[in-house]
Amino acid sequence: MSASRRSLFPVAMTALVLLFLYIPILVLILYSFNDGRFSVRWDHASLKWYRRLLHERAIWHALRNSLLIAVTATLTSTVLGTTAALALHRYRSRLQKVHYGLVYAPLVVPDILAGMSLLLLFVACGVQLGMSTIYLAHVSFCVSYVTMVVLARLQDFDVSVIEAANDLGANTWQATRYVLLPLLLPGIVAGGLLAFTLSLDDFVITFFVSGPGSTTLPLYIYSMIRHGNPPLINALSTLLIAVTFLAVWGSQRLLAKQRKDG
C-alpha cells in the first residue's frame, strides 16, 4: 500500500506542473473568443477580435520585420556558429581558449547589459538604429547558441570516418561536404532552429537597438499591453500557439515517417 502511494506522488506532481503550465494558455485561448473588451469579464463568444486582427496592418508589418530579421540572423549565425564550432573542436591552443570564452560570454551576460552595450557601440560608431542594428544584435547572441549546439555534436563525432574518406581518395573539401556536414546536419539544424526561436522571441536586446520603422512583433505586443488592448493580444497569441503546435506536430510526423521508412 505504501509503495503504491509513493508511486502516485510523481504522477500527481507531474499533473500539477502540467496544469500550472497549460491552464494559463487555455484561459488565454478561451478569452480570445470573448466579445468583451476586458478579459476579466465574459460577455459572449465571438470571432470579433480575429476579424479585427486581420485588418491591423501594423501587426502584420511587425511580424514581417520579425520574420525577416529572424531568417537572416539565423542563416548568418548558423554559418558563423558552425565554422566557430569546427575551429574550436579542431585546434587546441591558448588563443582558442580566449575564442571559447568570447563565444560563451553572450550566453551568460544578462540581456539588458548586452542591449545597453550594443546601443552604446552603435551610437559611438554613428550607426543609425533600425533593421540593420537589430540584425547585427541578434547575430551577436545567436552565434553562441549555434556554436554550442554544433560543438556538442562534434564531441561525439567519430573522426575515423573522415580518415576513411581520405584513405578512399576524398580531398578535404569532399570529405567535409559529403561526410562531415551530413553527419553534423542534425546539430546544425537544431542550432539554427534554436537561433530562429530566440531571434523571433527576443524583446530586451531588440528594445535597445531598434529604431523608427523597425518595430518587431514582441515590441508591438509590448506597446499593445501598454495601451490596454488585451483582446487583440489574446487573439494574436492564440494564432501563434496554433502555428507552433502545428509545426511541432508536423515535425513529429516527419520524424515518425523517417523512422518507419528507415
Q: Which helix (H) or strand (E) holds 114?
A: helix 111-125
- CB proximity list for 213: less than 8 A, separation 6 or greater: 130, 131
Alpha-carbon distance of 226 to 214, in angstroms, equals 18
Q: Is the pLDDT of residue 150 over 70?
A: yes
Mean pLDDT of 41-59: 81
Q: Which of 14-18, 158-162, 184-188, 212-216 has the lowest mean pLDDT?
A: 158-162
- The reported pLDDT for the residue numbered 1 is 47
Mean pLDDT of 122-146: 93
- The reported pLDDT for the residue numbered 27 is 86
How do residues 75-128 score in pLDDT, each as one tens digit?
A: 999 999 998 888 888 777 777 778 888 888 888 889 999 999 999 999 999 999
Mean pLDDT of 176-199: 83
Tell me the pTM.
0.80
- The reported pLDDT for the residue numbered 117 is 93
- The reported pLDDT for the residue numbered 152 is 84
Spelled out in words, what is the top-level CATH class assigned to the domain 57-229? Answer: mainly alpha
Q: Which helix (H) or strand (E) holds 111?
A: helix 111-125
- The reported pLDDT for the residue numbered 185 is 83
Alpha-carbon distance of 229 to 85, in angstroms, equals 44
Alpha-carbon distance of 223 to 18, in angstroms, equals 30
Grid-cell match 488565454, residue found: 28
Give the domain ranges of the chain. 57-229
- The reported pLDDT for the residue numbered 229 is 64
- The reported pLDDT for the residue numbered 163 is 67
